[in-house]
Structure 1
Amino acid sequence: MTSHRRWLASVAALVLAAAVQAAPPPQDWSAGYDAARLIVVAVADKPDPQPSAGATPRGYDALPNYSGGERAAETAAHLSADYGLSERAAWVIEPLRLRCLVFALPAQADRTQLLAELQHDRRVRLAQPLQEFETLASAGAPMVTAAMPAPDYNDPYVGLQRSFSTISAGAAQRTTRGDGVRIALIDTGVDAAHPDLAGRIKEQRDFVGGAADTAERHGTEVAGVISAVANNKLGIVGVAPGAQLLAYRACWPATPQAASARCNTFTLALALGAALASDARIINLSLGGPADPLLQQLVDQAQSRGIVVVGAVPPDRRMDGFPVGIPGVIAVAAAEDTDAAAQTLRAPGRDVLTLEPGGHFDYASGSSLATAHVTGALALLLALDRHGRAAELAALLQRSQQEAGRSIDVCRAIAALRHDPATCAAQAGTPAAGNGG
C-alpha cells in the first residue's frame, strides 16, 4: 500500500472511530430510564479545519460527516472523561451549531453540583437536567344530547362533533380547508393506516426508539381533530381536512393505549430539529412540562423562520413552562376551563369526538384537543395568507373569541382576514371543493 493510501485509510478510520463514539446504540426510551441520573450537555459544533491543499488527498472531501465535527466529538469525549460521565446519546442540531449529548451521571454524584460545574466549564454551551413532559389529554365521555344536523357532509359522525360546530369549522370550510399547509405534529405515534387519515400523513419519524409507524392513542386523537378526511362517507371531519401532517413520534404512553403519554428533552429536541429541517408551517405541541433551555432555543429558532408554534396550557394553568412560557408561542386552553389566563386562546376540549387507533372513534378531553382545534384553525387561515405571522393570526382568533364568547370562531377570523363580513353570513354551506380523500 502506498503512503498516500495508508494516509487516506488512517483518516477514514479516525472518522469512523469518531462516528462510533458519537453514536452509541439507540436507546428505546419507552423501555424505561432514571431521568434523575441523566443530564443534557451541549458543546459548540464548529466546522473542522480543512487540511492544507498540499496534504489533502483526492477523495477526502467525499468522506461522510458523522454526527458533526471531530473537534466537537473530541470535546465531548474529554468532558466525559473529566467528569466521569457515560454517554447515552448524541446528536447535532445544525441550526444552533451545537453537538448535544445525554450523559449518565457517575454513581453517587450530586446532579445539581455537577451541573453547576459544567455550566462554568468554558467548553460547555449548555448543561441542564434531562427533563420530562406529558401530553395533556384524558378519556372523554359520549355526549348525551342529540346530534347536530350537518347536511353538507356525508361523514356519519359529523353531527356528533359539537366542537366542530362550536368553532364554525363547517362554515369556514366554504372558503378554505387548509390545502397545502403542513403541520409538524410532535406527539405519540399516529395511526397513519386509519381510513379517516388516508392521504393526510406526509411523513412519519420515530425519536423514541420504537418504530415510526407505531399507532398510539394521543397522537391519533390529535391528528383526527386537525385533519380527518371530509366527505369520505366515514367517521368525522377534521378542522383542516386539506392540511398534511408530519407525524414525529417523541412521546410514548405508559401502557400501550393509555390516554396520556410522556416525552423528554432528548426526544422533543430531536423532533423539533426535524420540524426545523422540514417545510412545516405549524408545530403542534399538545404537551407541557417545565421550562427547558435547549427546547426554548429550538422553538425560538422555529419562530425566527416564520413557523407558528402552538402549545397546550397544562391543568395547573401555569404559564412559565414549556412550551407556553416561551414568548410567541400560541397558548391554548380548553374553552370549558373558565379560570384559564385571559391571554390564552380557547377551543373545545371536553368530550371531543375523534379518531382512535385501529380505525376506531371515541371521545377525548383535555387542552391537547383544544390545541389541535386551534392548529387546524391556523391551517385554514394560512391557506389564505401564506405569509401570515403568528401574532397576527393569533390576534384574529383572539378577536373572534371575544366576539363569539368562550371559544375561537374560525369563520369569524377568516371574515376579518378577508375584510368580508358576508363570509360567515351562513353558519353552514357547501364545503370547499375537494374535501374528499
Structure 2
Amino acid sequence: MKLFNRTDQVDQHRTFKGTIPGKWFTWFSTVVVVFAFTGVTAGITAPAAQAANPTVVTLTFDDANADQLNAAQTMQSLGLVGTFFTPSGFINNPNYLTTSDMQGLVANGNEIAGHTVTHPDLTTVTLDEATRQICNDRVNLTNLGFTITDFAYPFASENASLETVVKNCGLNSARNLGDIKTRFSCAGCPLAETIPPANPYNTAAPDEVDNTWTLADLQKSVTQAEPGGGWVQLTFHHISATSTDPLNITPTLFNQFATWLKSRPATTTVKTVAQVIGGTVKPLVSGPPAPPEGTGNLIKNPSLETLVSGAPQCWAAAGYGTNTAAFSTVRQAHTGKVAEQLVVTNYVDGDAKLLPTLDLGGCSPTATPGNSYSIGAWYKSTTSTQFELYYRIGVGSWKYWTSSPWFSAATTFQKATWTTPPLPTGASGISFG
C-alpha cells in the first residue's frame, strides 16, 4: 500500500482476485613455430617484438542512465570507447537511454551489453526467472538491432549456477565487481584481471565508482596495474553535475580522468569488453515462459512470512519523491507471526510502498488483458493510504497503471479491498502496493 505520512503496517493475506470465479492472487593459446626450408638450411621466423605488460582499460556504464551521455560525449571527443550494460526493460523510460541514444553510442564505436531486463539480484530469484532475465534481455536488445555478447551481474551478485545460465544464453562473458584492489576495499586482491580472464563468466573488476572516488583514485586504478599489465574495468553509473545519487561523479571529474587516460603510454589502451573478450556471436536463446495465470491467491508469499535476508521474499520496497522510508518486519500481525511496517519521516512529497517484485513472472502474478482483479490487504496506519498498481508489458518493462481510492487511517487492523478496472491491452503481469 502507498503511504504518504507516518506509519503503515501491512499484514499477511494480501489477495488478488480475478473476475473469473475462483481466481485469486490472495572463456589454449597456440604457439606456432614456422620452419622455412631453402636448400640445406633451415630458418625459424621469430615473432615480432611485443610491448611488455600491456594494460587495457575498459570504461563500463551500468543501468542505462541517461546522464551517461555526458561521458559518451567526452569519450567521443577523445576517441575513446566503452561498454554500456543496459537493462532492456529500462530503455525509453524517463531518465533512461532511448533506442536512438544507444544507436548513437554504437555508431561511435561503443558496445551495448546485457544487464537483465529489470535489474534484479539474480541470486534471490528462481533459476527460471534468472534465465528469463538474462536470455530475454539479450533477445530484447538484439531485436532492437544491437549485437549482444557480454553481460554484467546486477549488484555484482552471482554464483556458479548463474555463470552457467549466462553461458547457456549465448553470452561470452560476465563482469563482477569488487575483486580488484582499491583504497576502499579488497587490499589483498590482484591489481588487474588477466587477459584472457581465467573465468570469462566471472571477470574481476574494482568496486563501482561512486561519489567518494577522486581523480587520484581513478588514476591509481590504472597506474597500479601498468607495471604488471592486465585488464582494468571501471564501472560508472551516473555522470551528472546535479545528481545526489551516491553512485554519481561529475562530468568535470570524468573529463579530467578520460583526458588523462588518453595521454597514457602506448602500452595502455582503452577497449570495450567485446574487444578484450572476443569470441563469436552465438545464436539467441529465449528463457522459459512466465508461469500461466493460476487459480486461488496468485500472490506469492502473501503472508510476508517467508524472509530472504530479513525482507519478505517476492516483495520489494519502492517509492519516489523527497521523504525517508524505513521498512521493518515486526511481530504485530493480524494473523500469522509477522507484518511489515513502513515508517515515513521527513516527508515533502512522493510516496513509499511494498509491492510484489516487478519481474518477469517469478514473483509478480501473470495477468490477462481485459480482466479485472480484486486486491486486498490487512493494514493499520496513522494516515490515509491507498493501493498503487503497475502492469508489465512488451519486453518486460513495467508501467504505472492506476491507484485505488483512499482508505482511512486505522488504529487497529482493517481490510482494504478494491476491484481494478479491466487490465489494459498488451499487459502480461500485474503488481500492487
TM-score of the superposed pair, with normalisation by structure 2: 0.23
Q: Which has the larger radius of gyration?
A: 2
Higher relative contact order, structure no. (Cα contacts within 8 Å, ≥ 6 residues apart)? 2
Greater helix proportion: 1
Q: Which has the higher strand share?
A: 2
TM-score (norm 1): 0.23
